[in-house]
Structure formats: structure tokens, C-alpha cells
Amino acid sequence: MAFRARILPNYAPDPFGPALAAVLVASALRCASVPSGPPREPGPFRDADLVEIVKLDPAIRLDVRYATANNFTGRPVYREARAFLQRPAAEALVRVSRSLAQKGYGLLVFDGYRPWSVTRLFWDITPQDERDRGFVANPARGSKHNRGAAVDLSLYELATVREVAMPSPYDEFSDRTDPDYAGGSAEERERRDLLRAEMEKEGFSVDPGEWWHFNYQGWESYPILDIPFEKIR
């Protein structure tokens, strides 16, 4: 598969470092059915054209939790706090941002493109019952995040620059994360539903189990990638 010049050649995927790599080695014995590398797919696929979201629209704010210990793994899994999407998805997100600005809100992005190796790590450290409930993607099939065609995000208030409250926090493993969850306050549900409506206008669809996770139309036309952020220009 051909990549555009923005992706550097001769890379060696390693988004973890020695400590997290050890987790993968230890889990290999009990996860023999999971491939050691990204699954092979027949294609054909579109050329990857990953772009950095905030460079298209500085009004989009980032809170990349996976570059910190403030995530469900309890450790950083990204070396850089950056967010990328395939260009059509990124451009659609900019249109969402501009529409929401007229309503007093901005977009707060938690995650975009995710290297396959990180998806493998999530799978390895997640208990089986939570895997069965679909809280993490199976690396044997890959994730839409791995294709650069999925984004995790919420809203912030333009007036205060503060993240708004939703029916659940980001990355919680509970029924409250369902995009149709009827609990929480009316204001929380209203903001959640506003985000969904604005995203759907621009070709995104919400994940059935995560109000913050949106997949861009045509995601299947992009390949599963395992490129570290530092190798993307």
C-alpha cells in the first residue's frame, strides 16, 4: 500500500516503551489467538492521508488522555498528545466545529487515529467480561480508530472554555455511556444529543455503546495502520 509523503518511511512501531511492551509479552501466552501484528486485509484501500486536527481548526481543543496517566490503563500509551484523522473526516469535523460555535460550544477531542499496537495493548489488559461487553476493540479485527476514521470527543463551552457535563465521563465502562441512556440530567442528555446531531449532519455515526465515539462514513475504505505519531508529519 502506498502512503503519501507526509508519513515517514522505515519506521519501527513502538508506541509503548519497555514497561508497556512487557505487558504484551506477558499476555502473549494467554492471547495466542490475537495476531502479533495488524490483521491482513485484501483491500483495495485509499491512500492514508492523516492530518492533525488542530492544524485545520485551532478552535478544536485537545484533551488526549492516552498521553497521560488519566485513562483507564492508568499509564501513558501515547508519546505525544496529538490527534489525527484521515483528511475527509478531519475536514468534516471542522464543519461540525463551526456549526457548534454558533450555539456557544466547541469540540474537545480525546482521541482520533490510534496505532494498532495500542489497540492490542488495550485488549491485553482488559478483563474478559469487559471485552465481552464490547468496551475495547478486538485487535484481530482492528479498530476504526486504527484506520484514522474514528474520533472520541465531547463539548466545551466557548464562554468558559470548560468541558461540559455529559451523562457519563469519557471512557467509563458502564451502561451510562450508551448514546440513548435515559439517566443523568436533562441538560446532560440535551448536550449529548446535540453533539450527536451535529456529527451526524457531517457523515459521522455514533458508536452503539459510547456517546463520545463517532465513526466517519467510508471508514472501511482505509487500511488498519500501526504508525506512531512521531512518524506522521
Catalytic sites, residue numbers: 210
Ordered alpha helix ranges (H), the chain: 18-28, 53-56, 87-101, 116-125, 128-132, 186-201
> Rounded to the nearest 10 degrees, what angle do helices 116-125 and 18-28 cross at?
60
Instruction: State the amino acid at position 58 in one-letter form.
Output: P
Asked if residue 1 lies in contact with residue 43, where contact means CB atoms within 8 angstroms, the answer is yes
Asked if residue 93 lies in contact with residue 151, where contact means CB atoms within 8 angstroms, the answer is yes
Q: How many H helices and E strands in the chain? A: 6, 7
For residue 176, CA distances in Å to 151, 153, 179 come to: 19, 16, 8
